Every structure is written in structure tokens, then in C-alpha cells.
Amino acid sequence: MNAQSAVETDVDQAALLEKLGQRSIVLVGLMGAGKTAIGRKIATALGLAFIDSDQEIEDVSRMSIPELFELYGEPEFRALEQRVIARVLEGGPQILSTGGGAYMNAHTREAIASNAVSVWLKADLDLLMERVSKKQNRPLLKNDNPRAVLERLMNERYPVYALADLTVVTRDERKEVIAAEVIEALDRHLSLANEVEPNEMKR
């Protein structure tokens, strides 16, 4: 691995993993935010397994996400997504990248809150448009004005994504840099959580 592709951080990874315990790290955010690419970098850096919920759904159903949307509609797809994510979360610790709509499901949010630390990869509209325009497998963007659809999704979903434990701004920067920022944010979050819990127990 060359220096350019390594995730460089001063975080004590063994201590971070100890604080994480059996919980997973779940990445949420809109399509194009980089959840899969950055998630893989984090997984490699921490020595954890990486799972993409969309890939899991395709493996389970033996169909692509666009095919599932077309044949069964979004509500059925979301129900399957909910079941798959709940099952995957039983196998932590791991890095789990979720589809853009997954965190909108209240049951999925509860499962993530109980079994994981959630990280919202927040991106602006121009960055998302630049990234998603390169891929044709986005069922929600199959219309004449994908930018308007993406803007609507941001307005609907960003207030819910903001419920995640952590927010890390993703931008036009190397994946390794964003991954390092996620790891550092996780370390701070877990350290603070560990300080609060013993104090709560003393009361």
C-alpha cells in the first residue's frame, strides 16, 4: 500500500476498537456521498469487515436494486432493506454502508442506534450531482431532472440524517483524508461516551 492510499491518523486504533466493542459503524447519507468508497478505507484502516447493504440486498434477492424497484416498488424494497440491515447489524463490529433511503426508516434507525455508531457523510448538491451523473444504476434519478430530484431528497432526508451520532462533511478530497476524519470523529465520540457512562453510574 503506498502512502497516497493509506489512511493516516494519530488515533490509537486498538483503543478505539475496544471502546466500540461489538457495535458496528454505520455510514448514512445520500447517493454519491462516498459511503462505500470511504467505508472500505475505514474498514481497512481499522481491520474490520466492510459490508454494503445494497450489495447484501442484491445477494439475498439475486436481483439488482433497479430490478427490485421496478418489480416490487419502493415500499417493498424498503421492507427488505430493513430486514437485511437488522440481520447484518447482529454481526458487529464491522463497517456498514447503507443505501440513501435506509436511515429514513424509523425501525432501521432504532436498530442502528441499538447496535452501532452512525456517521452521516454530508455532501453538497454540486458534489453529489457530479458523482451520481457517472452512474446509471440510480432508480430514484431516472427522470428528466435528476438535479431537482436530488435537491428534493436533500430537503427531505438531511433533517433525518442529522439524527446520526456523528456528521462528517465529505467533499472533493481524497477518500483517505475523509476516512481519517471519520476515524478521528469516532474516537472523540467514543471517548466522550465512555466518560459520560461512568459518571451516570455514580449518581
Look at residue 188 and tell me if it is in a domain. yes
- The mean per-residue pLDDT over the stretch 8-37 comes to 93
Give residues with Cβ within 8 angstroms of 12, minimum separation 6.
Answer: 187
Task: Give the pLDDT confidence score for residue 172 in this predicted structure.
Answer: 85
Pairing outcome for strands 166-169 and 24-28? unpaired
pLDDT, tens digit, 9 for 90 and up, residues 84-107:
999 999 998 999 999 999 999 999
Please give the average per-residue pLDDT across 18-32, as a whole number.
95
Please give the residue that has the higher pLDDT: either 18 or 141.
18
On whether residue 9 sits in a domain, the answer given is no
**Alpha-carbon gap, residue 130 to 34, rounded angstroms:** 12
Based on the structure, what is the number of domains in the chain? 1
> Which residues span the domain enclosing 84?
18-196
Residue 107 in domain:
yes
Contact 25, 117 (CB under 8 A): yes
Residue 69 forms part of a structural domain: yes
* 10 domain-assigned: no
Of 151, 43, 44, the closest CA to residue 97 belongs to 43
Q: State pLDDT tens for residues 52-65.
A: 999 999 999 999 98
Strand partners, 95: 25, 50
Instruction: Please indicate, yes or no, if residue 130 is contained in any of the structural domains.
Output: yes
On whether residue 8 sits in a domain, the answer given is no
What CATH number is associated with residue 175?
3.40.50.300
Q: Per-residue pLDDT for 170 more than 90?
A: yes
Question: At residue 40, does pLDDT exceed 70?
Answer: yes
- Give the pLDDT score at 161: 97
In a domain, 62, yes or no: yes
Contact 36, 30 (CB under 8 A): no
